[in-house]
Amino acid sequence: MSIVEDKGFLKYTNALNPSYKPPSRKTISASLIPSAYTACREKLMKEVQREAMSVCLTTDTWTSSVNDSYIAITIHYTTLELEFKTVLLESAHYSEKHTGELLASQLKNTIEAWGLTGKVVLAITDNAKNIVNAINLLGWKHFGCYAHTLNLVVDDALKIVKDTLEKIKNIVSYFKRSSSATDRLIKYQVQQQINIPKKLKQSIPTRWNSTFFMLQRFVELEEAVRATLALVQRDFDESLSEDDWIICTQLTTILKPFEQATAKMSGEKYTTASMAIVVTRGLHNVCENLLKNQYKPVISNVLLKLKEGLSMRFNNIEYHKELAMSTLLDPRFKMSGFSDKCATDHSKKRAIDMVATMIGNSVVTHYPTTSNEPSQPGCSKEISIWDDFDREVNNLQPRSSPMAKAITEIGAYLEDALLPRNSEDTPLEWWKNNRHLYPTLCKLFIKRGNFLATSVPCERIFSKAGYIINDRRTRLTSEKVRQLVFLNINKT
């Protein structure tokens, strides 16, 4: 925060406005940031308590560069006006062990402080045992982060080509270390009249799709890499065989659909839970179709391992109640999103039961009735020419049960045309335009249309936190980090 006292910054602000004097470091730290945090938190609390009928919770833990541990808790909900919102509730520091009991206590206290007790319908976390135990202790429904699980599927399959990948990583590392080798790589591309020369990318152990991007760039620059390695062979002994190059090319082909799925499911500006079943089904089909092609035996084995991993880790995903309900209520998918007829029927029946309950609990308005009793004691009822007609009309009104109304509403919704998958309209916009046709289903969508399938929002929060706790700000207290992260994510 001492930037406001730097000579260069003071000179800059003076050039903009000579009469303006920036606040001191102490004023910013002790007054401005805490007051902004308090005001923002109070405002958001009122909004959340007013707007959120139910919430999807995502959470993750993180250790900063100065070895402090934090837990981030975010909620996602759909308002009655059918707007999707995300709020960071807490980015709290804790110094004790990351036990399930401690995490459960932190989650419970945060939810109670925000007035959301009983509104958490689904919690999304990674597959770590401590956080899963915490969710179970709280009695919340849990779903393991889709992106994290898909990461495990791909990581297991890539072990088959570990030797080839290690060679490629070593070559990329060599180019990263050697400025002369990188210069020759760039120079070769310039000689080939490539307008924007590119560098190689290195993979990151915690993210499998970084391996895909490494392979993709490696294949793209194959000619330049081959030519450069030939010139620096004396300094570098690692080499790739022709089979290795073929394997590398084929790997990019079979991994591309998995990278597309990861990118699609990692969105946080829209609900992703409704796509989990459809995307998993699509990946199964991709593997089956790719197995029909003529690949190197090792690549075919990778495909078989990918298919096996999908079947094992996403077993019975169509029977996950909340994901299935989200899919059914997504106008792009409805019943077409399922491949298992039993799962489809089960989800439809559950939706009917939920809609019938909502109809039964709603206030039913009847037509006015006539009565032979006087309206007030001692007063005779005024006779009207409409008495007999009103009585007959009231007796003719249908007395259909909530279950019958639910079956009718859901039947009409399912028979309606699907929203095109690539339509400019989103599911939220579709429900805005059709809420009067399916009023009770729309209410159900608001309660069940706010689910994400990944805990990526929390991971992105920690990425931003990494920029806040930079080399110049390592002395920030955990409370100040908490306030800064909260404002960074929530303040608009």
DSSP per-residue codes, 359-396: HHHSPPPPPP---SS-SSTT-PPPP-TTHHHHHHHHHH
- Compute the distance between CA of residue 143 and CA of residue 123 in angstroms, rounded to an integer: 6
What pLDDT sits at residue 399? 61
Task: Say whether pLDDT at 46 is over 90.
Answer: yes
- Give the CATH architecture of domain 2-145+455-490: 2-Layer Sandwich (3.30)
> Average of pLDDT values for 100-112?
93
> Average of pLDDT values for 93-97?
74
Contacts of 36 (CB under 8 A, 6+ apart): 487, 491
| Angle in degrees, CA 271, 56, 121, rounded to 5 | 125
Start-end of H helices in 201-292: 208-220, 222-231, 242-265, 273-290
> Average of pLDDT values for 209-229?
92
> Average of pLDDT values for 199-220?
90
Task: Say whether pLDDT at 203 is over 80.
Answer: yes
> Average of pLDDT values for 209-238?
85
What pLDDT sits at residue 238? 65
Contacts of 307 (CB under 8 A, 6+ apart): 284, 287, 288, 291
> Average of pLDDT values for 149-167?
94
The pair of three-digit structure tokens given for residue 490, joined into one six-digit string: 């929530």
Higher pLDDT, 198 or 2: 198
What pLDDT sits at residue 164? 93
Residue 144's CB is within 10 A of a number of other CB atoms, namely: 20
- Compute the distance between CA of residue 149 and CA of residue 141 in angstroms, rounded to an integer: 17
Task: Say whether pLDDT at 185 is over 90.
Answer: yes
DSSP state, 270? S
Q: Model pTM?
A: 0.84
The pair of three-digit structure tokens given for residue 80, joined into one six-digit string: 């009655």
Using CB atoms within 10 Å of the CB of residue 318, give its burial: 0 to 12 exposed, 13 to 18 middle, 19+ buried. Answer: buried
> Average of pLDDT values for 430-434?
95
Three-state DSSP at 450 gives coil
How many residues in the chain?
492
* Sheet with 120-125: strands ordered across: 84-93, 69-78, 55-63, 120-125, 142-144
The pair of three-digit structure tokens given for residue 148, joined into one six-digit string: 């994290």
What pLDDT sits at residue 251? 95
Three-state DSSP at 125 gives strand
Task: Say whether pLDDT at 421 is over 70.
Answer: yes
pLDDT in tens, 298-354: 999 999 999 999 999 999 999 999 999 999 999 999 999 999 999 999 999 999 999
Residues 200 and 225 sit within 8 Å (Cβ to Cβ): yes
- Compute the distance between CA of residue 143 and CA of residue 119 in angstroms, rounded to an integer: 16
> Average of pLDDT values for 210-222?
94
- Compute the distance between CA of residue 180 and CA of residue 231 in angstroms, rounded to an integer: 11
- Compute the distance between CA of residue 60 and CA of residue 459 in angstroms, rounded to an integer: 7
What pLDDT sits at residue 380? 57
DSSP per-residue codes, 46-76: HHHHHH-SSEEEEEEEEE-TTS-EEEEEEEE
Single out the residue of 483, 488, 492 nearest to residue 37, CA to CA: 483
What pLDDT sits at residue 71? 86
What pLDDT sits at residue 375? 47
> Average of pLDDT values for 254-278?
91
How confident is residue 371, by pLDDT bands cut at 50, 70 and 90? very low
DSSP per-residue codes, 189-212: HHHTT-SS-------BTTBHHHHH
Single out the residue of 1, 114, 56, 134 nearest to residue 323, CA to CA: 56
How confident is residue 73, by pLDDT bands cut at 50, 70 and 90? very high
> Average of pLDDT values for 136-140?
95
Task: Say whether pLDDT at 252 is over 70.
Answer: yes
What pLDDT sits at residue 389? 81
> Average of pLDDT values for 133-155?
93
Task: Say whether pLDDT at 363 is over 60.
Answer: no
pLDDT in tens, 447-480: 988 889 998 888 888 777 767 776 666 677 888 8
Distance of CA 317 to the CA centre of its chain: 17
pLDDT in tens, 6-31: 999 999 999 999 999 999 989 998 99
Domain ranges of the chain: 2-145+455-490, 151-266+277-309, 330-370+381-448
Phi, psi angle pair for 110, to nearest 5°: -65, -45
Most confident of 41-45, 97-101, 172-176: 41-45
Residues 333 and 278 sit within 8 Å (Cβ to Cβ): yes
- Compute the distance between CA of residue 368 and CA of residue 304 in angstroms, rounded to an integer: 68
Residue labelled with tokens 């793209």: 220
